Amino acid sequence: MKKRIATVSLAGCFGCHMSLLDIDERILDLLKVAEFDRTPLKDLKKFTKRCDIGLIEGGCCNEENVHTLQEFRNNCDVLVAVGACAIMGGLPVMRNAIMNSEDPLRECLEEAYMNSPSVYNATNDIPNDPALPLILDKVYNCSEVVKIDYQVPGCPPSGDTLWETLTALIKGVPADLPYGLIKYD
């Protein structure tokens, strides 16, 4: 039976997904043993079946991220946090540094939409369409919200790293990740 893989980008930049495409023609080998379910690669937005592997890019900065992550946890046997943002919040988590404020979230929104020198916002409106998901009080990494089985470090992890990870997960053996693939200093 082919393994089912789901992927999603939460508060990330899609860089990890681009990196996944760096496995190049090996994607054909991958599709011999696995198939994709819910993933932006196929533009499939709902789970069709329970999946074996879920790859999460990005942490949680709004309620929709949390909801999606919880859906992934409910529908995937193994959940992998891929990349710096999923593991520890990455760039978005920098907003958590606003903590000595009485109203950190408001300060963050005002900085982003009104006060920053590069912003032109004549009406001084902060986007608040009912269709927009509510933003969380701070950015949470994936393991703060649900249980995560594996983490693959990197910003982004290289195509080779992701290839090794997926092969190992599909075969059910420990991943062979030489130092060069997970060294980032």
Q: Site residues (CB under 8 A) for another protein?
A: 63-64, 66-67, 70, 73-74, 79, 103-106, 109, 126, 128, 130, 133-138, 140, 143-147
Q: Which is nearer to another protein, 66 or 168 (CB)?
A: 66
CB of 146 to another protein, least distance (A): 5
Is residue 170 within 8 Å of 100, Cβ to Cβ? no
Q: What is the dihedral of CA 131, 132, 134, 140, to 10 degrees?
A: 130
CB of 1 to another protein, least distance (A): 23
Question: Nearest-CA neighbor of 40 among 23, 26, 55, 25?
Answer: 55
Q: Which is nearer to another protein, 118 or 128 (CB)?
A: 128
Q: Residue 131: is it exposed, middle or buried by C-beta count within 10 angstroms (0-12/13-18/19+)? A: exposed
Q: Which is nearer to another protein, 140 or 163 (CB)?
A: 140
Which amino acid makes up residue 36? F
Q: Which is nearer to another protein, 27 or 135 (CB)?
A: 135
Q: Which is nearer to another protein, 29 or 103 (CB)?
A: 103
Q: What is the dihedral of CA 91, 5, 76, 45, to 10 degrees?
A: 70
CB of 136 to another protein, least distance (A): 5
Question: Nearest-CA neighbor of 134 among 105, 100, 114?
Answer: 105
CB of 108 to another protein, least distance (A): 10
CB of 23 to another protein, least distance (A): 28
CB of 88 to another protein, least distance (A): 11
* CA within 13 Å, CB half, 122: 0
- What distance in Å separates the CA atoms of residue 10 and residue 119, rounded to the nearest whole number? 25
Q: Which is nearer to another protein, 143 or 158 (CB)?
A: 143
